[in-house]
Amino acid sequence: MLLFLAACGGRDDNALVDCDINSGACVKTVAGQNIEVAFDIVPKPVASMKRLGFSVRPGGGPAAVPDTEVVLDLSMPGMYMHDNRIRLRPNADGSYEGEGVLPRCTSGRRLWKAEVIMQRKDGKEKGPARASFIFRVDR
Ligand SMILES: [Cu+2]
């Protein structure tokens, strides 16, 4: 309990933010692979305690991956907020989407990290491809 309270007391490090989610989709390239990933959340402005729609669009180079399992792992940088993983559904256009809620942080912190974990089902890759996005919620 003491540890939990201590962890909760910190401040957001806004320098970590690398995705201005309220301005539109954010794009990252998976390290070491030629896969670009676009990530978006609606509705905007993005807030906690609201039903949110998450979408991921892998695209770009030749490694664009058919038949992939895509999971979103939501966490707060530097703070344990219980596991919050969402399995995204594939759409016909190659994007993936799902719904979820970001809990309100009792400490008032508002930075979240969404890690996109993409695992091909055909076993042609050793480990999953990952891309992470750090964004700030309005409240
Ligand atoms: Cu928190």
pLDDT score recorded for residue 62 = 41
Distance in Å, CA 60 to ligand 1 centroid: 34
Instruction: Judge whether 3 lies within some domain.
Output: no
Note whether residue 4 is domain-resident: no
| CA 115 to centroid of chain Cα atoms | 4
Asked if residue 7 is part of any domain, the answer here is: no
Distance 16 CA to ligand 1 centre (A): 15
Please give the residue range of the domain that contains residue 27.
13-136
CA of 80 to the centre of ligand 1 (A): 7
> Vertex 32, ends 29 and 36: CA angle to 5°?
20
Helix (H, G, I), strand (E, B) or coil at 118: strand
Q: Is residue 21 part of a domain?
A: yes
What pLDDT score was predicted for residue 115? Answer: 97
State phi, psi for 56 to the nearest 5 degrees: -135, 135
**What is the domain count for the chain?**
1
CA 70 – ligand 1 centroid, Å: 24
* The pLDDT value given to residue 18: 97
> What per-residue confidence (pLDDT) applies to 65?
56
The answer to whether position 39 is within a domain reads yes
Q: What tokens were used for 29?
A: 């390239």
Site of tokens 């962890």 = 7
Identify whether 28 is part of a domain: yes
First-to-last alpha carbon distance for the chain, in angstroms, is 25
pLDDT of residue 8: 53
List the CATH number of the domain containing 80: 2.60.40.1930
| Predicted TM-score of the model (pTM) | 0.87
User: What are φ and ψ of residue 23, in 5° steps?
Assistant: -95, -10
pLDDT score, position 55: 96
Residues of the chain with pLDDT under 50: 1-7, 61-63
